[in-house]
Amino acid sequence: MGNHKASDIIRNLLIKNGGTIKVENYQEKTYHNGSIYEINLSSDTQRIETKALPQHDYELTVFDIIVNLLIECSGTARKGAGRNNKLNEENCGYDTIVGRIGRDYFNKQAGESVWDPVMVLGAVLDWADICSSKRGYLELTPNYREILKS
């Protein structure tokens, strides 16, 4: 049985790529405006580091939190919006990626402000062929769905 954890897949792919990748998000793919994010694997291989986000490093487990939500939601979940929304409000509910990261990764409570790292984290998941990053939502790829079946 193969390893299906997003964190392990991303770690292994980053190692295979020398520890550094460049990704672009959904909007850049659409509009080709040139914003590209550099992502680095930390020296302990437990985190990604990027200057593209206010908080510069994230444990790889954040990807497992996102994928677990997608699995709970039959493979598709809204990205949500942390900007101008508090945790568990309409655009930042626990059924959104931003809301789930806020609750399960940052340990925030309903009504608190949260970071919104979905643009960059979604681009990494897209690069790893785990999710397709679409306008407003993430969706598990057919390839990753097959990995889950094995």
**Mean pLDDT across 104-132:** 94
Evaluate if residue 31 carries a pLDDT over 80: no
Per the prediction, the chain carries an average pLDDT of 90
Helix (H, G, I), strand (E, B) or coil at 146: helix
- pLDDT, residue 26, reads 59
Token couple for 74:
């039959």
User: Going along 2-150, which residue ranges are E strands?
Assistant: 20-23, 37-41, 47-49, 57-59, 76-78, 131-134, 137-140
- Decide if 66 contacts 125 (C-beta within 8 A): yes
Give pLDDT tens digits for 43-65.
999 999 999 888 889 999 999 99
Higher pLDDT, 25 or 32: 25
